[in-house]
């Protein structure tokens, strides 16, 4: 039986580069992904860990123009409300941020978590049922990294009303909406978040988020 793979110092350095260059992409080229690419990324996403091996993630590839248009209308309404909630300089900064790639990204993907799944037999969910949602997020993060490794960008669109999204996509009532993702080749490559470059927010030093008891 073959032993586990060895991840040497060079691999670890390259993996750090991958993490640093993973961006929440907002500006996409309209070039389509090669045939089978999205399906392969989704297969790799399913290698993510999940509570009780429940694999609760549910991926909805949104291809129909009518559904995409309804998602865009939902976004516009939610984005207008979010803009109204800003004040002063923050409002003008928010207004010039491009917060979605719905027009240009060739692939649209909605991710849900199925709380009704019997897979995993409920292991690890008695006291923390939200582990189902966390598992779906891990799957999407896995897809995000493997996409970045192939030069493909991912943008997480969270400025949406979940109930409206489930209606538009006609998903089962037990599926919890996690997020709507735009996927495609990015217009630009950056090693710093756009919100940091635009002055919206700055990263905190890692020690500020670590506590010892």
Predicted local distance difference test score (pLDDT) of residue 100: 84
Low-confidence residues of the chain: pLDDT under 50: none
- CB-based contact 161:71 (threshold 8 Å): no
Distance CA 47, CA 143 (A): 9
CB contact set of 48 (below 8 Å; sequence gap of 6+): 57, 135, 138, 139, 141, 142
pTM value is 0.93
Predicted local distance difference test score (pLDDT) of residue 190: 86
Distance CA 34, CA 41 (A): 12
DSSP strand E in the chain: where?
57-61, 107-114, 153-157, 175-184
Write down all domains in the chain, each with its CATH number in brackets: 25-186 (3.40.109.10)
Predicted local distance difference test score (pLDDT) of residue 88: 83
């Amino acid at each position: 039986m073959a032993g586990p793979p060895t991840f040497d110092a060079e691999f670890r350095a390259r993996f750090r580069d991958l993490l640093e260059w993973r961006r929440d992409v907002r500006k996409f080229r309209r070039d389509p992904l090669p045939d089978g690419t999205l399906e392969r990324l989704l297969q790799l996403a399913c290698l993510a860990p999940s509570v009780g091996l429940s694999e609760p993630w549910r991926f909805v590839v949104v291809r129909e123009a009518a559904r995409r248009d309804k998602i865009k209308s939902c976004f516009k309404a939610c984005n207008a409300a979010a803009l109204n909630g800003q004040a002063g300089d923050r409002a003008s900064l928010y207004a010039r941020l491009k917060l979605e790639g719905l027009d240009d990204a060739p692939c649209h993907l909605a991710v849900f978590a199925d709380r009704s799944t019997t897979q995993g037999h409920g292991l690890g969910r008695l006291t923390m049922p939200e582990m189902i949602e966390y598992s779906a997020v891990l799957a999407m993060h896995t897809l995000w990294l493997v996409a970045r490794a192939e030069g493909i960008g991912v943008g997480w669109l969270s400025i949406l009303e979940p109930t409206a999204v489930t209606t538009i996509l006609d998903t089962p009532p037990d599926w919890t909406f996690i997020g709507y993702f735009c996927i495609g080749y990015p217009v630009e490559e950056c090693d710093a978040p756009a919100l940091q470059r635009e002055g919206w927010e700055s990263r905190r030093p890692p020690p500020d988020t670590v506590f010892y008891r």
